[in-house]
A = this chain, B = another copy of it.
Amino acid sequence: MELESVLDELRAKGYKLTPQRIEIVKALVEERYEHPSLNRLLERVREKAPTISFSTLYTTLKMLEELGYVRLFYLKGETRVEVNLDPHINVVNLRTGDVEDLVDEEAMEALRRALERAGIRGRPTIVNVMVE
């Protein structure tokens, strides 16, 4: 996720580039590998745009999800944001809730083969490995 290219696409599609949206996208770029919760992200964005509401953050993230920039997922009672949508592995610590990106082409390839053996159509995207 690149700051300028996202802002360009939003502009091109007619979305208004409000300070709130700009700060949200900036925060997403910076927290790209952190899988932040909505409230963590809100806190983060408020450092630069103190008046931003949860509501604005929320609708903006839904919009970005629609546009294919992020994916929202649920873990331990809260919504979290996946910014890296390249196929990869998330190592999810079930005890702490930490999520760590793991890029490993060998494992991804083994998974693709397993899906193929099982006759499953569709590409694997994110793989969440629960670790305890």
Using a CB–CB cutoff of 8 Å, the interface residues on chain A facing chain B are 74-75, 89, 91, 93-94, 100, 102, 104, 106-107, 109-111, 113-115, 117-118, 120, 122-132
Question: Cβ of A106 and Cβ of B102 under 8 Å apart?
Answer: no
Question: Cβ of B107 and Cβ of A113 under 8 Å apart?
Answer: yes
Query: What are 9 residue pairs bridging A and B, where the CB atoms are less than 8 Å apart in the complex?
Result: A102-B120, A104-B114, A106-B113, A107-B110, A107-B114, A110-B111, A124-B129, A124-B131, A125-B132
* Given pairs A91-B120, A126-B130, 14 additional interface contacts (CB within 8 A): A102-B115, A104-B114, A104-B117, A104-B118, A107-B107, A107-B111, A111-B111, A115-B129, A124-B129, A125-B130, A125-B132, A127-B127, A127-B128, A128-B128
Nearest residue, chain B, Cβ from A117: B104
Nearest residue, chain B, Cβ from A92: B128
Copies in the complex: 2
Which of A118, A122, A123, A130 has the most chain B CB atoms closer than 10 A to its own CB? A130
